[in-house]
Amino acid sequence: MALVVSCLQVFQRVITIRTAIALFALSSAAFLSLIWAYVTSDFSVANVATNSHSMKPLLYKISGTWANHEGSMLLWIFMLSLFGMLVAIDKNLWPSMKAPVLRVHGLVTAGFLAFTLFTSNPFIRLPVAPIDGQGLNPLLQDPGLAFHPPLLYMGYVGFSVVFAFGVAALLTGRLDKRWASWVKPWILLSWSALTAGVALGSWWAFYELGWGGWWFWDPVENASLMPWLLGTALLHSVSVLQKRGALKRWTILLAILTFSFSILGTFLVRSGVLTSVHAFAVDSSRGLFILAMLAFYTGGALILYAAKAHHFKSGKLFAPLSRESMLVLNNLFLVTAAATILIGTLYPMILSALNLGQISVGPPYFHYTFVPLMVPLVLLMGAAPFVMWKKDDLRAIAQRLGMALTATLILLTIAYGVSAGKPLGALFGFGIGAWLFCGSFLWWAQRVRLFQNDMWMRVKSLPLPQWGMALAHAGLGLAIIGMVGSTLWLKEDLRVMSPNDSVTIGDYRLTFEGVEPAFGKNFTAIEGQFTATRNGGAPFTLKPQKRSYPVAKKNTTEAAIKKSFWDDIYIALGQPEKSGAWVVRIYVHPLIPFLWFGFMMMALGGLMSFAGSRKALKGAKS
Amino acid sequence: MRAFLCAALLILISTQAAFAITSPRERLDDPVLAARAEIIAKDIRCVVCQNQSIADSDSEIALGLRTLIAVQLKEGKSNDEIITYIHDRYGDFILMKPPVKPATWALWFGPALIFLLGLFAASRMMKRKPSAKTTGGHA
Amino acid sequence: MMKKYALYILPALFAALLIAAAATVLMRGDDPSVVKTNTHITAPAIGIKGPAIVNFFASWCVPCEAEHPTITALAAQIDTYGINYMDSQEKADAFFARLGNPYKEVFYDTEGQMGVEWGLVGVPTTFIIDSNNMIVYRQDAPLTPAQVESDILPLLEELR
């Protein structure tokens, strides 16, 4: 009897694995067919006809596949099945865990497949194929945006695997250090992809949309920030679980919530319950379908959690001054931050549901609530890596931090000199970023014993996850410096300029030469001609445009941007005045390149930790 | 979610979404007043736009409100007086920073409450003294 | 022991509440971008006496043109004032030359300041004020003949 049961079990597991692989093969066939339809401009497919055009460059024909709702859902499904397949072929994962993880993941995939099939079929044919397509919005024809959705989805969908691991742990009761080491690479991979995806979207908004900012606290943006914050909390709590076998119930809850927030994001974007600058055609049947999925997956997982969580034993208590407690504080700040954004984003919807009136929750709210949470978090972040596991001593930590503190003070003095101490808030923000950067760099320097004889050996033998952590933390430090610089040290000017007028802003000197007509493929424009120099260096020209697209009956303002190592200068044309004068808006965004570089370092750090944690997993097996 | 992807459609649908370039009649020559006007405009929502302040919109209504701000600033009114004036006529929806009132208590004080509850839960995971005995708590 | 279980149910309860709120909004079809505006406040003083209709319009506004016959029909029944919004007198005159001027008097709000006074969201917008110059009705969209029949005529009867 026992033999039969175990035979059945083995058979079931084999079937589960084969199914996951077959699902991947089939959904990639579907996805590739749609890409093929785009590449060959098959306008008998309704989706291609509305979103593509035969004259587009190949890259944008391909990226056009996911630049619309139906195609993006197919990309989502392709990613889901890809991750499912990767789990299925993972040799380091024990079958006893692999099978339940794949079952849960398959259930998630089924939901999204049903959603796509019943509400968003990308393969609907037109009875009569048009001669040419309606084309892709020119703003979407940008390399940043071609790769933004795939990376973002990779992040969201990667967390579905983490979700499946969480639910599988609740189902099987297995939740230990090994579980943590299995799930950790998935968290790191998803986190890196999400970081890169969010950063790329922000980059595109800054350069291509030309609104003069990179984050607007818009519901659609918040929807991607919430899973990022929770994912960040999760990747830290899972380390505690892996090292000390503690924070079990908490980690499971985070694993469930991170993916739930990814679904919530889809809902917010697709349902139209909130107003967003990234507004687009919404469909309430799609909204209801996603809401039903949210209720089923999140609701189901949380009910399971309510029933099973108490089975997992609490860990030992932590010493107040230990790496564990630092990571608990990290989680407290990150989760409170995510909750704050959730409250701010959904509050208008909740008031509306209760008929309590309409309110707007704009950037000022988030500046008052989110920023105060980040300040102590980042201060703590600079110091936390220096704190030992289990138990540490305040005086010893202070000693290890001495160098970082000195370096920060030096940088702060330089910043004070350059900015003349104005405004104080910017200096404070800069100090926080500098502290995190110096702390992370010096932590790394101490680990590899920089400038000592055995340094190279230590550089080579420093484990990848430690490299990753130092890089990601230092990256955030740089990014904060970029954020502070580009918002609080922002120089802006709005003036009327006549031809040959000059203006000095920041390190730049600009001369307005006049306007000239300009012509593009599908637009005509008035182009301003500006000659600029930075600190008296080589002159360059800036050509902001006011375009009009006759076919689309649209006018757009194309800002001209010149990047340099330290700052970006940004010019936009406004209204014409009398006698050849124009209203001109000029921004200088100091330190903004640090922001993009910092984001890149974070994503790269995450990838290094991912590689390290996979390597550790292989090592543990053999 | 699809964060910026959707911005595409935004450009299709919404009015001129690019940031506003001010018109001559709402311009303030005094840089102090102009800076104050910018601060006020950032806190006032453009009611016909999708989640933009009147500082970022070119719509007629935003232009009208910015002109009003310029006029009232020249009359010597304070920032609060101008915001109250607009708030009285349009209601809470127009404020980017929601007012503090019973219906928004959860919005304004919720985050602090969550933080304190979390801090309490976290403190129960810490040993009081190095030798303290293990007592429940949730890890 | 019971207390301990209760703690783990909290996330599920919280999620249920959020989903219920979202479902309510979605099923009801609320459009968050439509501003619900107030009535029963005193109309800004522009030197007119109620009961009357005040209609914001502009020559650049296409729906205003669609609404024009409805306003013309109403103007025969009650004092109807027009406020020409973010426009100019010449353009308004051209608009009247083409379609006719139904208004008892026209005010010109070239800078949108009267619009702000009235809490205007867009054009066309129609206000009905009673004899105490109280705003008793407002419509932030073009008036339709059906609406005039069902809502406005009974209201005007009441105001007289």
A300-309 pLDDT per residue, tens: 999 999 999 9
Sign of CA dihedral C112, C118, C123, C128: negative
Interface check for B1 against chain A (CB to CB < 8 A): the answer is yes
Which positions in chain C touch A284 (Cβ < 8 Å)?
Answer: 26, 29
Q: Are B99 and B113 in contact (CB under 8 A)?
A: no
pLDDT of A615 > 50? The answer is yes
Which of A431 and A277 is assigned the larger pLDDT?
A431
Six-digit token pair at A448?
């590899």
Chains touching C (at least 3 CB pairs under 8 A) are A, B
Q: Are A334 and A377 in contact (CB under 8 A)?
A: yes
Six-digit token pair at A563?
């990047």
Please report, for residues A491, A527, A553, A560, B23, the alpha-carbon distance to residue A516 in angstroms, rounded to integers and kept in the order given: 27, 5, 21, 15, 21
- Name C108's bridge partners: C84
Is the peptide bond between A423 and the residue preceding it cis, with omega within 30 degrees of 0?
Answer: yes
pLDDT tens by residue, A159-205: 999 999 999 999 999 999 999 999 999 999 999 999 999 999 898 88
What span, in angstroms and rounded, lies between the C-alpha atoms of A103 and A19?
A: 10
* b/e per residue A76-106 (b: at least 16 CB within 10 A): bbbbbbbbbbebbebebbeeebbbbbbbbbb
pLDDT of A79 > 60? The answer is yes
* b/e per residue A276-312 (b: at least 16 CB within 10 A): bbbbbebeeebbbbbbbbbbebbbebbbbbbebbbeb
What span, in angstroms and rounded, lies between the C-alpha atoms of C22 and B3?
A: 20
Looking at the complex, report in whole angstroms how far the Cα of residue B114 sits from the nearest Cα belonging to chain C. Answer: 13
Chains touching B (at least 3 CB pairs under 8 A) are A, C
What span, in angstroms and rounded, lies between the C-alpha atoms of A285 and A293?
A: 12
User: Of C117, C119, C121, which has the smallest distance from its Cβ to B48's Cβ?
Assistant: C121
Sign of CA dihedral A427, A430, A432, A435: negative
Cα atoms in the 13 Å half-sphere on the side-chain side of A385: 27
Interface check for B22 against chain A (CB to CB < 8 A): the answer is yes
When mean pLDDT is compared across A81-85, A393-397, B125-129, C9-13, the lowest value belongs to B125-129
Mean pLDDT of A583-608: 94
Interface check for C21 against chain A (CB to CB < 8 A): the answer is yes
pLDDT tens by residue, C127-158: 999 988 888 888 888 888 998 888 889 998 88
What span, in angstroms and rounded, lies between the C-alpha atoms of B104 and A289?
A: 30
- Name the nearest CA neighbour of A80 among A139, A138, A6, A164: A164
Q: Are A218 and B51 in contact (CB under 8 A)?
A: yes
Please report, for residues A309, A512, A612, the alpha-carbon distance to residue B126 in angstroms, rounded to integers and kept in the order given: 21, 64, 30
DSSP, collapsed to helix, strand or coil, labels residue C57 as strand
Six-digit token pair at B108?
């304004």
For a pLDDT cut of 90, what percent of chain A falls above it?
61
- Name the nearest CA neighbour of C70 among C135, C149, C160: C149
DSSP, collapsed to helix, strand or coil, labels residue C94 as helix
pLDDT tens by residue, A315-327: 788 999 999 999 9
Looking at the complex, report in whole angstroms how far the Cα of residue B98 sits from the nearest Cα belonging to chain A. Answer: 6
User: Of B25, B48, B89, which has the smallest distance from its Cβ to C119's Cβ?
Assistant: B89
- Name the nearest CA neighbour of A529 among A547, A519, A517, A520: A517
What span, in angstroms and rounded, lies between the C-alpha atoms of A72 and A84?
A: 18
3-state SS string for chain B: CCHHHHHHHHHHHCCCCCCCCCCHHHCCCCHHHHHHHHHHHHHEECCCCCCCEHHHCCCHHHHHHHHHHHHHHHCCCCHHHHHHHHHHHHCHHHECCCCCCHHHHHHHHHHHHHHHHHHHHHHCCECCCCCCCCCCCCC
Which pLDDT score is estimated for A277? 63
User: Of C12, C23, C29, which has the smallest distance from its Cβ to A291's Cβ?
Assistant: C23
pTM, two decimals, is: 0.91
Across the interface, whether the CB atoms of C11 and A354 are under 8 A apart is answered no
Which pLDDT score is estimated for B98? 94
Looking at the complex, report in whole angstroms how far the Cα of residue B89 sits from the nearest Cα belonging to chain C. Answer: 5
pLDDT by 10s per residue, chain B, length 139 = 333 333 333 333 333 333 445 555 567 778 788 889 989 999 999 888 777 888 877 788 888 899 899 989 999 999 999 999 999 888 898 999 999 999 999 999 999 999 999 999 999 888 875 544 444 334 3
Which positions in chain B touch C86 (Cβ < 8 Å)?
Answer: 60, 63-64
When mean pLDDT is compared across A216-220, A597-601, C103-107, the lowest value belongs to A216-220
- Name the nearest CA neighbour of A251 among A309, A311, A195: A309
Across the interface, whether the CB atoms of A274 and C22 are under 8 A apart is answered no
Q: In this structure, how many other beta carbons lie within 10 angstroms of the beta carbon of residue A425? A: 11
pLDDT tens by residue, A561-576: 888 889 999 898 887 7
Six-digit token pair at A423?
């405004």
Residue A266, Cα to own-chain centre: how many angstroms?
14
What span, in angstroms and rounded, lies between the C-alpha atoms of A584 and A575?
A: 8
User: Of B22, B56, B126, which has the smallest distance from its Cβ to A317's Cβ?
Assistant: B126
Interface check for B46 against chain C (CB to CB < 8 A): the answer is no
pLDDT of A518 > 50? The answer is yes
Strand order in the sheet with C125-129: C105-109, C80-85, C52-57, C125-129, C135-139
Across the interface, whether the CB atoms of A288 and C26 are under 8 A apart is answered yes
Amino acid at B21: I
Mean pLDDT of A123-144: 81
pLDDT band at C30 (very low <50, low <70, confident <90, very high): confident
Residues in chain A: 622
Amino acid at B25: R
Nearest CA in chain C to B138: C4
Across the interface, whether the CB atoms of B34 and A246 are under 8 A apart is answered no
Q: Are A543 and A527 in contact (CB under 8 A)?
A: yes
Residue A463, Cα to own-chain centre: how many angstroms?
25
Is the peptide bond between A149 and the residue preceding it cis, with omega within 30 degrees of 0?
Answer: no
Residue A292, Cα to own-chain centre: how many angstroms?
25
Name the DSSP letter for residue A331. Answer: H
Across the interface, whether the CB atoms of C32 and A294 are under 8 A apart is answered no
Mean pLDDT of A308-315: 86
Amino acid at A146: A
Cβ within 8 Å of residue C146, ≥6 positions away: none
pLDDT of A581 > 90? The answer is no
Q: In this structure, how many other beta carbons lie within 10 angstroms of the beta carbon of residue C55? A: 28
User: Of A139, A325, A575, which has the smallest distance from its Cβ to B11's Cβ?
Assistant: A139
Taking CB atoms within 8 Å and a gap of at least 24, the contacts of A442-451 are A442/A403, A442/A404, A442/A407, A443/A385, A443/A386, A443/A404, A443/A470, A443/A473, A444/A470, A444/A474, A446/A400
Interface check for C35 against chain A (CB to CB < 8 A): the answer is yes
**H-helix segments, A209-322:** 219-244, 248-271, 284-294, 300-308
Six-digit token pair at A497?
């300029």
Mean pLDDT of A22-44: 95
Which pLDDT score is estimated for A329? 96
Name the DSSP letter for residue A439. Answer: H
User: How much is the CA Rg of chain B, to the nearest whole Å?
Assistant: 23
Chain C contact probe: residue of B40, B47, B75 with most C CBs at under 10 A: B47
Mean pLDDT of C57-82: 92
Please report, for residues A319, A326, A403, A440, A470, the alpha-carbon distance to residue A393 in angstroms, rounded to integers and kept in the order given: 10, 13, 17, 20, 22
* Residue showing tokens 């499912």: A84
Which positions in chain B touch A252 (Cβ < 8 Å)?
Answer: none
Which pLDDT score is estimated for B22? 53
Q: Are A412 and A434 in contact (CB under 8 A)?
A: yes
The CA-based angle B15-B66-A204, given to 5 degrees, is 45
What span, in angstroms and rounded, lies between the C-alpha atoms of A282 and B78?
A: 41
pLDDT tens by residue, A447-501: 888 888 888 888 888 999 999 999 999 999 999 999 999 988 988 887 888 999 9
Looking at the complex, report in whole angstroms how far the Cα of residue B69 sits from the nearest Cα belonging to chain A. Answer: 17
pLDDT tens by residue, A374-419: 999 999 999 999 999 988 889 999 999 999 999 999 999 999 988 8
Across the interface, whether the CB atoms of C111 and B61 are under 8 A apart is answered no
pLDDT band at A432 (very low <50, low <70, confident <90, very high): very high
pLDDT of A55 > 90? The answer is no
pLDDT of C78 > 60? The answer is yes
pLDDT tens by residue, A469-478: 999 999 999 9
A100, A103, A106, A108: CA torsion to nearest 10 = -70
Task: Specify the DSSP element, H or E, that contains A122.
Answer: none
Looking at the complex, report in whole angstroms how far the Cα of residue A332 sits from the nearest Cα belonging to chain B. Answer: 6
Across the interface, whether the CB atoms of A273 and C32 are under 8 A apart is answered yes
Name the DSSP letter for residue A578. Answer: G
Please report, for residues A402, A505, B115, C12, the alpha-carbon distance to residue A297 in angstroms, rounded to integers and kept in the order given: 49, 54, 27, 11
Average confidence score pLDDT of chain A: 90
Interface check for C6 against chain A (CB to CB < 8 A): the answer is no
pLDDT band at A211 (very low <50, low <70, confident <90, very high): low
Residue A426, Cα to own-chain centre: how many angstroms?
25
Which positions in chain B touch A570 (Cβ < 8 Å)?
Answer: none
